[in-house]
Structure 1
Amino acid sequence: MINAIILAAGESQRMGKPKPLLKFEDKTFLEQIISVLKLSDADRVTVVLGAEAETIKKSIDLSGTN
């Protein structure tokens, strides 16, 4: 079993907004990573949130992740 873990718990004080929500092409940085991992051989994708967790949860679709 392959477990993928995305660490997205940083505070991003200098960026002014959470880094996982920065745009990369047509999606946020975190959405891009989740999309790639869902297409991979990973059996489970876990996203670790910390600072700004509620903002991130409201901003992107985390369905299919833990």
Structure 2
Amino acid sequence: MLADDRTFTLQIRLKNLLESTGAINVSLGQSTLPIHAPEAALAGLITVGPILLVFLFAQRFLTSGQLAGAEKG
């Protein structure tokens, strides 16, 4: 849905980078980028980290909002 690569999110950019290397797709063979499986896993953790932190801090507000809508008035 995103036509311009400047509007890609960090996760989509990471997926494109890892698909172009041999880190995940071994059938590509040798790549000019020296990215291997441990680096790919670390990059995935770094991109998911901020989203996870926001969810963990906002979780109490999310659950209280869901429970407030379930009460009969």
Q: TM-score, normalization: structure 2? A: 0.31
More strand by share: 1
The structure that has the greater radius of gyration is: 2
More helix by share: 2
